[in-house]
Amino acid sequence: METKKKKMKMMTLDQMKDKDIGKIGTAERDIYEFDLRMEVLGDMIKSVRKERKLTQEQLGELIGVQKSQISKLERNTKNVTIETILKVFRALKANVKFSVEINESEFKVAQ
């Protein structure tokens, strides 16, 4: 999981704006959906933060952590806890949804 170039991977919002899933509510709401994967999560934080015109330091203040911590979250150096995710997106006034998709067939009981 370290094969990519690493130089600006920042594709999320821009690319995602196309395959935008939602447009449910009022005028100005955007929804970005993606398979839950660590890498993407980090990008998402960064994207939304930029959308909100905040520096890492400012976001850090909102949450109560150092800018270095935000940097780490965005660059997903690590596995992350749900609480952490919520803390961040709450500060960014973003709503986080989660969905589980099951194919009834797909499952073989035998192991």
Partner DNA sequence: TCGTAAGTTTCCATATAATTCAACTTTTTC
Partner DNA sequence: GAAAAAGTTGAATTATATGGAAACTTACGA
Instruction: Return the ∠ at Cα 82 (arms to 2 and 111), rounded to 5°.
Output: 75
Task: Round to whole Å and give the CA distance between 108 and 100.
Answer: 18
Task: Bin 6: left if φ > 0, else alpha if -120 < ψ < 50, else beta.
Answer: left
Name the binder of 18 from a copy of itself, DNA, none, CB < 5-8 A by kind.
none
The answer to whether 87 contacts DNA (rule: CB under 7 A) is yes
Tell me whether residue 5 or residue 100 sits nearer to a copy of itself (CB atom): 100
Minimum CB distance to DNA, residue 34 (Å): 19
The answer to whether 29 contacts a copy of itself (rule: CB under 8 A) is yes
DSSP class of residue 40? Answer: H
Q: 79 CB contacts (<8 Å, ≥6 apart)? A: 38
Window 7 to 26, contacts with a copy of itself (CB under 8 A): 21-22, 26
DSSP class of residue 92? Answer: T
Select the span of 1-9, 64-72, 76-84 touching a copy of itself (CB under 8 A): 76-84
The answer to whether 105 contacts a copy of itself (rule: CB under 8 A) is yes
Name the binder of 95 from DNA, a copy of itself, none, CB < 5-8 A by kind.
a copy of itself
Tell me phi and psi for residue 72, to 5 degrees. Answer: -60, -40
Binding site for DNA (CB under 7 A): 55-57, 60, 64-75, 77-81, 83-84, 87
